[in-house]
């Protein structure tokens, strides 16, 4: 038992020198089925594991639009809802703790959200609306590191050239529009129609890498061989 300090004397706090820094997370969970988002994470060297919904989860219900909601508010709300569902999913499955990443992308013409086409007719109608016009692509990306939720939004402007009927018909027949917001994939054959982009190419694909990298750094995750400020690195 230590003796009390003498009156007027100063006690010095004990400092442990050379204590190892906590190990950074080794990977992130990606709460998305999108192969494009997986490819983009691979591109910047982020190790990840998919954390997909169970069969009983109604993932589509999270994407229902609300009256009077702006497109940006919509994509932020849906992304936060997906993140919360993924966090509960990890806990329910008893999986090891790691940051959870999710994103949502919408194509917007004016104030109207152009979702994934229901069928070939809907896909063709969407592409006719985008022809020779500029639209927005809004992607929200969110990260839950176990303690803090963070969210960032990327807004890009995309101008299409003029599309004629046969071009649209061939594209739809090839199947590429399905499962894509706005009925097109910029990394696919539709890339030949893009006259101008202002914003993030990766954000248009579905995961804005600049914003994603910033969120990952804030959560203490290193990637692509880039070290932390103290020199640690995962690669």
Q: Which of 59, 24, 22 is nearest to 145 (CA)?
A: 24
62-101 per-position pLDDT tens digit = 888 899 999 999 999 999 999 999 999 999 999 999 999 9
Alpha helices in the chain (DSSP H): 35-43, 71-93, 120-130, 165-173, 201-205, 209-218
Element (H, E) at 105: strand 100-109
Mean pLDDT score of the chain: 87
Between CA 52 and CA 157 the distance in angstroms is: 30
166-208 per-position pLDDT tens digit = 999 999 999 999 999 999 999 999 999 999 999 999 999 999 9
Please answer whether residues 146 and 108 qualify as being in contact, where contact means their C-beta atoms are separated by less than 8 angstroms. Answer: no
**Token pair belonging to 178:** 């399905």
Predicted local distance difference test score (pLDDT) of residue 58: 82
Between CA 44 and CA 100 the distance in angstroms is: 17
Please answer whether residues 205 and 182 qualify as being in contact, where contact means their C-beta atoms are separated by less than 8 angstroms. Answer: no
109-158 per-position pLDDT tens digit = 999 999 999 999 999 999 999 999 999 999 999 999 988 999 999 999 99
| The pLDDT of residue 16 is above 60 | no
Q: Which residues contact 145 (CB under 8 A, 6 or more apart)?
A: 25, 99, 219, 220
Predicted local distance difference test score (pLDDT) of residue 228: 40
Predicted local distance difference test score (pLDDT) of residue 62: 85
| The pLDDT of residue 11 is above 90 | no
Please answer whether residues 79 and 72 qualify as being in contact, where contact means their C-beta atoms are separated by less than 8 angstroms. Answer: no
The whole-number average pLDDT for the span 36-64 is: 89
Predicted local distance difference test score (pLDDT) of residue 54: 87
List the catalytic residue out of 54, 58, 104, 164: 104
| The pLDDT of residue 53 is above 60 | yes
Instruction: Compute and round to an integer the Cα radius of gyration of the chain.
Output: 23
Predicted local distance difference test score (pLDDT) of residue 148: 92
- 122: annotated active-site residue: no
Between CA 106 and CA 174 the distance in angstroms is: 22
Predicted local distance difference test score (pLDDT) of residue 186: 95
Name the phi and psi angles at 141, rounded to 5. Answer: -125, 135
Structural domains of the chain sorted by starting position, each given as residue range(s) with its CATH number in brackets: 28-218 (3.90.950.10)
Between CA 152 and CA 103 the distance in angstroms is: 10
21-36 per-position pLDDT tens digit = 556 568 999 999 999 9
Percent of the chain with pLDDT over 70: 84
Please answer whether residues 136 and 107 qualify as being in contact, where contact means their C-beta atoms are separated by less than 8 angstroms. Answer: yes
**Token pair belonging to 234:** 């995962």
Most confident residue range from 59-63, 75-79, 213-217: 75-79
| CA of residue 36 relative to chain centroid, distance | 11
């Amino acid at each position: 038992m230590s003796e009390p300090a003498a009156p007027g004397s100063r006690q010095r706090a004990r400092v442990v020198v050379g204590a190892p820094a906590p190990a950074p997370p080794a990977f992130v969970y990606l709460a998305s089925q999108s192969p494009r988002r997986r490819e983009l994470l691979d591109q910047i060297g982020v190790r990840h594991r998919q954390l997909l919904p169970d069969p009983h989860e109604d993932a589509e219900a999270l994407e229902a639009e609300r009256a009077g909601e702006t497109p940006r508010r919509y994509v932020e709300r849906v992304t936060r809802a997906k993140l919360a569902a993924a966090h509960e999913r990890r806990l329910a499955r008893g999986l090891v703790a790691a940051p959870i990443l999710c994103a949502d992308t919408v194509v917007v013409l004016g104030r109207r959200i152009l979702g994934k086409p229901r069928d070939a007719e809907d896909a063709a109608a969407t592409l006719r609306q985008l022809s020779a016009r500029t639209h927005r692509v809004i992607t929200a990306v969110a990260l839950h590191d176990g303690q803090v939720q963070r969210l960032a939004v990327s807004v890009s402007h995309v101008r299409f050239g003029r599309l004629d009927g046969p071009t649209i018909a061939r594209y739809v027949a090839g199947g590429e529009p399905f499962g894509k917001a706005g009925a097109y994939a910029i990394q696919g054959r539709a890339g030949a129609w893009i006259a101008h982009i202002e914003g993030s190419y990766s954000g248009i694909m579905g995961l804005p890498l600049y914003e994603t990298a910033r969120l990952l750094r804030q959560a203490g995750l290193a990637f692509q061989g880039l070290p932390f400020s103290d020199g640690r690195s995962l690669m």
